Amino acid sequence: MKLDELSVFFPAYNEAENIEPLIKNALNIIPQFAQKFELIVVNDGSVDQTKSKVLALAKIYPQVRLVNHSTNLGYGAALKSGFKAARYDWVFFTDADLQFDLQELTNFLPFTQDYQAIIGYRKNRAEGKSRVRNARLFKLYVDILFRVHVKDNDCAFKLFKTKLVQNLNLEANGAFLSSELLYKLKKQGVKFKQIAVSHYPRLRGNPTGANLKVIIKAGLEAMKLYLSIKLHRLQQHQW
């Protein structure tokens, strides 16, 4: 099965070691899944050679495009830029760290007939115990506040109908963005198809998701949205 159109984007921060093999792999695999496609790298203010490597690839391959943040704005900001830049009917994203297998997108395509949001969950998380524990605690925190209740809020392997996500008013700029996205889609009555995907150890580059500042920012953004919702409901009740 093939989609008519597919935008694929990769949020990237200091992924110079991974970006070329990622793009070349995608150029081989994504044509199996779409008649027409584009590959977008959202460079979130990298200070290594990520940007220059993408530009060099874009000169060779017309399907490759760069969206550039001149400074590091955060993972959520990179996702928002990727969604905004997507030109085609469906949009898929995954991280640029080569921890997911693009070939597993084949398992998502049959469900595009009945779902507008098909989201992966990691059947095995290839991270240290402390990061797995932190992820579970953050998921619990989000579920208490927003009752999203999916298996893996922040799994970076998701496929959406493009208009669905482009029409959302997304606010977070950090790691909370993935949960905010799912919450706002759920409030609109969108049903999710959840599919298990493999997760592999990072071989090159340095992860940033376990950074304490990233975790604190995500927690604060979640609480900010929660309080905003509560305040809005209170104001409506008063009127």
The secondary structure of residue 184, as a DSSP letter, is H
Question: What is the domain count for the chain?
Answer: 1
Provide DSSP, 56-98.
HHHHH-TTEEEEEESS---HHHHHHHHHHH--SSEEEEE-TTS
Residue 39: name the closest of 7, 85, 87 by CA: 7
Give the per-residue SS3 of 156-206: CEEEEEHHHHHCCCCCCCCCCHHHHHHHHHHHCCCCEEEEEECCCCCCCCC
pTM tops 0.85, yes or no: yes
- Residue 95, pLDDT above cutoff 50: yes
| Overall average pLDDT of the 128-143 stretch | 78
Tokens of 159: 């496929």
pLDDT digits (tens, 9 = 90+) for 114-124: 999 999 999 88
| Confidence (pLDDT) at 209 | 53
How many beta carbons lie within 10 A of that of residue 106, not counting itself?
12
Q: Name the residue with higher pLDDT: 125 or 5.
A: 5
Can you tell me the distance from the alpha carbon of 140 to that of 161, in angstroms, rounded to the nearest whole number? 27
The sheet that has 157-161: what strands, in order across it? 64-69, 34-44, 3-12, 90-94, 157-161, 117-122, 192-197
Tell me the sheet residues that pair with 7: 38, 91
- Residue 199, pLDDT above cutoff 60: yes
Q: Which pLDDT band holds residue 239 (cuts at 50, 70, 90)?
A: very low
| Overall average pLDDT of the 73-90 stretch | 97
To the nearest whole number, what is the mean pLDDT of the chain? 91
List the CATH number of the domain containing 212.
3.90.550.10
pLDDT digits (tens, 9 = 90+) for 146-161: 888 899 998 999 999 9
Q: Name the residue with higher pLDDT: 111 or 206.
A: 111
| Overall average pLDDT of the 173-192 stretch | 94
Q: Name the residue with higher pLDDT: 237 or 178.
A: 178
| Confidence (pLDDT) at 237 | 54
Poorest-pLDDT segment among 7-11, 95-99, 100-104, 138-142:
138-142
- Residue 81, pLDDT above cutoff 80: yes
- Residue 208, pLDDT above cutoff 70: no
Residue 1: name the closest of 115, 163, 110, 118 by CA: 110
Can you tell me the distance from the alpha carbon of 197 to that of 107, in angstroms, rounded to the nearest whole number? 9
What range does the domain containing 216 cover?
3-238
Q: Which pLDDT band holds residue 231 (cuts at 50, 70, 90)?
A: confident
Whether residue 74 contacts residue 107, with contact meaning beta carbons closer than 8 Å, is answered with no
State the sign of the Cα–Cα–Cα–Cα dihedral 134, 103, 164, 149: negative
Tokens of 36: 């027409």
Can you tell me the distance from the alpha carbon of 27 to that of 10, in angstroms, rounded to the nearest whole number? 13
Q: Name the residue with higher pLDDT: 128 or 102.
A: 102
